[in-house]
Structure 1
Amino acid sequence: MPTPRRQVLKSLAATLLAPAFARAQAPAAPVKLAMVESLSGPFANTGEAVYRNLLWAVERVNQRGGIKLPGGARPLALERYDSKGQPEEALAALRSAIDDGAQVVLQGNSSAVAAVLVDAVAKQNERDPRRGVLYLNYSAVDPVLTNERCSFWHFRFDAHADMRMAALVQVLRDDQSVRSCYLIGQDYSFGQAVLREARRQLGVQRPDVQIVGDELHPLGRVKDFLPYAAKIKASGASAVITGNWGNDLTLLVKAAREVGYDGKFYTFYGNALGAPAALGEAGVGRVIAVADWLPNLPTARSEAFYQSFRQRFPRPQDDYVHMRMQLMIEALAQSIEKAGSTAIVPVARALEQAQVTLAGQAGTMRAADHQFQQALVVGQMDRVGAPGVRFDVEGSGYGFRVVRVIAPQNAELPTTCRMVRPT
């Protein structure tokens, strides 16, 4: 029988060991990711579509055991913050995310929002490095974000506007049916950059093409695009070039159909979020879109990737999958593991060197400006079942046949970035 002294010692040991045992049994603290996006207002559908992509990517990492770190594996946790598509709201969302312990901010739908986040993240990391964050951008494609306004804390995983335009014009250059173009875009930094680069590239690649319209409209505030569509038709333009996205694109192409415009649309985002359904038969053979990946890319691994997304999100209206968002989360997971830490400077340095592959698609982060380098594809809208169109978009009956693949080395453009790195 134990003596009273031994009983006291055993009780004391149990008391001292209990917290350590509880910590060992407790779930590992997650690495918090904060998605800052429009979840209300005119572009809410774009935010929800992005969330599905990011959620799927995070689930894939967690299903294989999470992030492997020296102290044990840690899961990723994705949290949502509504920016309402406004820079001021995005800043408030960023502050909330940091207060909630987020270590990585994810945003992309709006270059205007991206610009304020780049500055705000840099100031946060300088002012309070213990609560520093990295900013991963999957869609904000104003070229200045990885040129004049590049930041060590910002990484872009989409091709910027000039890269996308170069890919589109490669196809337009060979399309001799296009004799005149109408340029239309959203009136903010990204839309202005698209139109500026369209003018420049047409001057170089197709100087014979006449620009018969050049117009900017308010972002997210136009409810009736019929007056714009009427001007496009009246101009006699054989093609429209636009970087419009979300409802601004869907309403534009719907109005064009209603006025009977029969020219082509060269778009950045005409392959999703209601645009194909809005055009219907009027878009067959006439809508061209550039992307980092398309579901009808003719490879077995690409098809399996797309099919697995459709199994996860079976509703036709949820059909909006982007390879770049998957590669982005894979690159982040890889970089945290390589750094052996969630500290933002080691992770950023590892992310600068990231090389990632998924479902046969590959990409590399360029350290000079933090612009991801990957292949681009250009597709043309057609009926599902037509040659090269096995999968449609959002249950519309229309999909995109791949007509051009641009290798990463051919999609790459020089940068003017002068990166300032922490010492």
Structure 2
Amino acid sequence: MKKTRRAILKSLATVAFLPAFASAQAAVPSIKLALIEGLSGGNANGGEAVYRNLVWAVERVNQRGGVRTREGRRPLELDRYDSKGQIEEAIAALHSAIDGGARIILQGNSSAVAAALIEAIERHNEREPDRRVVFLNYAAVDPSLTNEKCSFWHFRFDAHADMRMAALMSVLKEDAAVKSVYLINPDYSFGQSVQREAKRQLALRRPDIRIVGEELDPLLRIKDFAPYAAKIKASGADAVITGNFSNDLTLLVKAAREVGYDGRFYTFYGNALGAPAAMGDAGVGKVLAVAEWLPNVPAQQSADFYRAFRRRYPNPADDYVHMRLQLMIEALAQSIERAGTVDAVPLATALEQASVSFSGWIGRMRASDHQFQQPLVVGLMERQGTPGVPFDVEGSGYGFRVIRQFPPPKVEMPTTCKMVRPA
């Protein structure tokens, strides 16, 4: 395979700390992690944001001496593979990563890609038991991935779409001003699941709310959302519920502002990647976002964590920090040490028992379906400096005031997974 197609780069997170392991490296190799992500194309900003978070997390593990294994202490090494957001490229990158020695695969910014990787990894692990891999998913939130498509080799560290929707609906339920909503989501498995779950939970929690419009838009292909925004405004909807992200969300909220729509946006990803700056004052008091963590969580440890990230990445444009990615790498380090190896079966067995705490935030892996259980928060967009908003987003002057916090049991949901474990 051509090197240009693989687009492999070794992480500075490893290079910076290899001298500390120099004497041991001859006998004990580093542990390769392969990030397979869209690092070019429509969601390149999301892929690069993930990469920055992973670099920081890997640096932290290596700064404290790497991880203990039976062979001795080993550093983590993060390699990146550009899937361009395409399934075929992601599968090719998977095989390249395995051939390059990676036994831990990281991906998340597409549920369709994640589903394809799960199937490919199942086939590979059955055919080549000596080169089995585990798959850590940090953002692909189609609920089916830990339900009917669950796999022993796959672990999800983000709350799935139904869990996120449950948190948003807990807030919307109390929003008496909302009498009608418009649903607009990306047209693939994730967006379709958001659409279905929004209708199901609205019927249960707010049967008085009318759904006045539904759209499924082509993922990362629309350049002009003005026609969509015009329909939303014409529908008279009091609020929009959307799982759109990256450029699709930014262009949608820009178009809504330009046509004069003044309803609320209940979003999965409205808290970053250009969306707050795009909305500007029009989003103040109107845009809500659900996340596993937000910078303005009212706790000193949380503020210290965020300031540490900003010291590592001082450019405001790089300001998209994911607590779940830090918890994921901490859980991986813990599990490697518990297993004493990166061999896939003992490592996966250890990951099933992972329970981590970091900067005041907690999370545990549920063994029955490999769905990580962690707190969720909902924030409301406000100007920086208003009460509860000491930090803004991406230098925009706008941040998210945390209006609700949900401990893990409040957003935990049942699973239909029938886990098949290796003999």
Question: TM-score, with normalisation over the residues of structure 1?
Answer: 0.94
Corresponding residue of 1:408: 408
* Shift in CA distance, 23/214, structure 1 to aligned 2, threshold 3 Å: same
User: Do the aligned partners of 1:155 and 1:371 also contact (CA within 8 Å) in 2?
Assistant: yes
Corresponding residue of 1:37: 37
Q: Is there any run of 5+ residues in structure 2 with no aligned partner, and where?
A: 1-21
User: Do the aligned partners of 1:301 and 1:359 also contact (CA within 8 Å) in 2?
Assistant: yes
Q: CA deviation at 1:71?
A: 2.1
3-state SS of the aligned residue for 2:68?
Answer: coil
Corresponding residue of 1:14: none
* Shift in CA distance, 346/304, structure 1 to aligned 2, threshold 3 Å: same
Q: 1:93-112 maps to which residues of 2 (within 5 A)?
A: 93-112=93-112
1:209 aligns with 2:176: no
Q: Which amino acid aligns with 1:407?
A: P
Corresponding residue of 1:222: 222
CA distance in 2, matches of 1:192, 1:91: 23
Q: CA deviation at 1:28?
A: 3.1
CA distance in 2, matches of 1:325, 1:364: 13
1:194 aligns with 2:169: no
Q: CA deviation at 1:130?
A: 1.2
1:125 aligns with 2:125: yes
Q: Is there any run of 5+ residues in structure 1 with no aligned partner, and where?
A: 1-21
* Shift in CA distance, 23/59, structure 1 to aligned 2, threshold 3 Å: closer
Q: Which amino acid aligns with 1:246?
A: S
User: Do the aligned partners of 2:364 and 2:373 also contact (CA within 8 Å) in 1?
Assistant: yes
Corresponding residue of 1:139: 139
Q: Which amino acid aligns with 1:247?
A: N
* CA deviation string 1:339-363 (max 9, x = no partner): 0111110010000000000000000
User: Do the aligned partners of 2:28 and 2:71 also contact (CA within 8 Å) in 1?
Assistant: no
User: Do the aligned partners of 1:293 and 1:322 also contact (CA within 8 Å) in 2?
Assistant: yes
Corresponding residue of 2:12: none
* CA deviation string 1:106-149 (max 9, x = no partner): 00000000000000111111111111110000000000000000
Q: Which amino acid aligns with 1:260?
A: G
1:359 aligns with 2:359: yes
Q: CA deviation at 1:25?
A: 7.0
Corresponding residue of 2:18: none
1:338 aligns with 2:334: no
Q: Which amino acid aligns with 1:216?
A: L
Q: Which amino acid aligns with 1:277?
A: A
Q: CA deviation at 1:23?
A: 8.0
CA distance in 2, matches of 1:41, 1:408: 35
User: Do the aligned partners of 1:179 and 1:238 also contact (CA within 8 Å) in 2?
Assistant: yes
CA distance in 1, matches of 2:143, 2:300: 33
Q: CA deviation at 1:151?
A: 0.1
* Shift in CA distance, 68/263, structure 1 to aligned 2, threshold 3 Å: same
* Shift in CA distance, 236/347, structure 1 to aligned 2, threshold 3 Å: same
Question: TM-score, with normalisation over the residues of structure 2?
Answer: 0.94
* CA deviation string 1:377-397 (max 9, x = no partner): 000000000110000000000
* CA deviation string 1:157-179 (max 9, x = no partner): 00000000000000000001111
3-state SS of the aligned residue for 1:282?
Answer: helix
Aligned residues: 402
CA distance in 2, matches of 1:131, 1:245: 35
Corresponding residue of 2:252: 252
Q: 1:253-402 maps to which residues of 2 (within 5 A)?
A: 253-402=253-402
Q: CA deviation at 1:236?
A: 0.4
* CA deviation string 1:299-338 (max 9, x = no partner): 1111110000000000000000000000000000000000
Structure possessing the higher radius of gyration over alpha carbons:
1
TM-align CA RMSD: 1.0
CA distance in 2, matches of 1:70, 1:132: 19
Q: Which amino acid aligns with 2:161?
A: A
3-state SS of the aligned residue for 2:69?
Answer: coil
User: Do the aligned partners of 1:28 and 1:75 also contact (CA within 8 Å) in 2?
Assistant: no
Identity of paired residues, percent?
Answer: 70
CA distance in 2, matches of 1:23, 1:129: 31
* Shift in CA distance, 343/25, structure 1 to aligned 2, threshold 3 Å: closer
CA distance in 2, matches of 1:292, 1:308: 18
CA distance in 1, matches of 2:263, 2:23: 65
Corresponding residue of 1:91: 91
Poorly superposed stretches of 4+, deviation over 2 Å: 22-28
Corresponding residue of 1:18: none
CA distance in 2, matches of 1:74, 1:139: 27
3-state SS of the aligned residue for 2:72?
Answer: coil
Q: Which amino acid aligns with 2:169?
A: V
